Amino acid sequence: MEIKYRFALDKNDNLIDVSELSRSELSKGDKFYSIDFHNELIPKLGDVVTKHFAHKGDSEGNYESYLHALAKKVFADEYQRCLNEKQPFFFKYKIENKCMKLNKLGVACIDEDYKLFDLTTKFDQLFIEKRDGHFIPDVMLYNSDKGDKIYIEIAVTHFCEDDKINSGNRIIEFSIQKEDDINTILDFREGKVNFNNIKYYNFKTIKEYNCQGNCGNKFACISVNQDDTIHYERLKGSEIDVNTLFQGSKRGYITKTSSITSETDDMLKFINIINTTYKKPITCLNCDNYNLESNFCKLHFEKNYATPNHINTNAIGCKDLH
């Protein structure tokens, strides 16, 4: 089956988009070549069929190798152009800011942020399919002073193998499935990232810090006291003392919450913890007869088995507990 190409190379290895060609602009000496194997291509510029390049004669192409070569050339050409013209080639990545203040309580307080970094300020060279130890990356960005590097990989059907990922080398992998996907590379250059088509490997994306008490995040704190009563309260991170929060309690549970999360939602999380931790629930909250919304036991017809800040634990001795 004939493969219809949108892009080809001219005699000077410039990338040509067939949609921008017209019959009046072509001369007899113009020749075009496939990006992957450099076979001669013929521009088809009719008015009925969509403009495209086709192989001359009986030559056949391979669409997978074409896409791979196309994306590799687009990235390399764009990056080299930015180096030559001193234009930025942005790299947008996600950072997880992890506060360590509550780490002792097993809480990961993480906020996501996005950063832009101009790759040309650090990587002043690029190499195409140059061996680097055991690997031959599609494109390698290189810092000539410090030797730092980033692999650029183009994935059409073959994605990065485990040995390359586990090498520790930083990798940016573009998933290219059709010609229009090269826009992913052009958008990447401008700091617009489609994380569905791009994967990062071995970049440090977690930044640890300590908020030093200046934390406005809210946490649901639930403790089981010595008398088996349960205490619940919401606290800001700045109000929590990790050394005294659950002091004197049998057990303590803490989870990040928010202003749009109700106390009922917090309690339901706690119930799930009970379900997975204990064979028998320790509060009425976990009984089929108990209604969390109304604080009412439908079997014993009693109310106030629980209040937001102090939960009665009659379930411990209740024979009707389900």
Token readout for 229 is: 């009563």
Q: How far apart are CA 175 and CA 159, in angstroms?
A: 8
* The pairing of beta strand 90-99 with beta strand 206-209: parallel
Q: How far apart are CA 179 and CA 181, in angstroms?
A: 5
311, with CB counted inside 10 A (0-12, 13-18, 19+), is buried
pTM listed for this prediction: 0.71
Per-residue pLDDT of the chain (322 residues; tens, 9 = 90+): 456 899 999 999 999 999 999 888 888 789 999 999 999 999 999 877 889 999 887 777 899 999 999 999 999 999 999 999 999 999 988 888 888 888 888 887 888 888 899 999 999 999 999 999 999 999 999 999 999 999 999 999 999 999 999 999 999 999 999 999 999 999 999 988 888 899 999 998 888 888 876 777 888 888 877 776 678 888 888 889 989 999 988 878 888 887 667 776 776 777 666 666 655 555 566 566 666 666 666 666 554 444 444 444 444 445 554 4
Q: How far is CA 133 from CA 136, 137, 154, 162, 169, in A?
A: 8, 10, 19, 16, 11
Helix (H) or strand (E) holding 76: helix 63-85
**What's the pLDDT at 273?**
66
**What's the pLDDT at 124?**
97
Task: Please count the CA atoms within 13 angstroms of the CA of 70 that sit on its side-chain side.
Answer: 26
**What's the pLDDT at 162?**
95
Task: Please count the CA atoms within 13 angstroms of the CA of 164 that sit on its side-chain side.
Answer: 20
Task: Please count the CA atoms within 13 angstroms of the CA of 57 that sit on its side-chain side.
Answer: 5
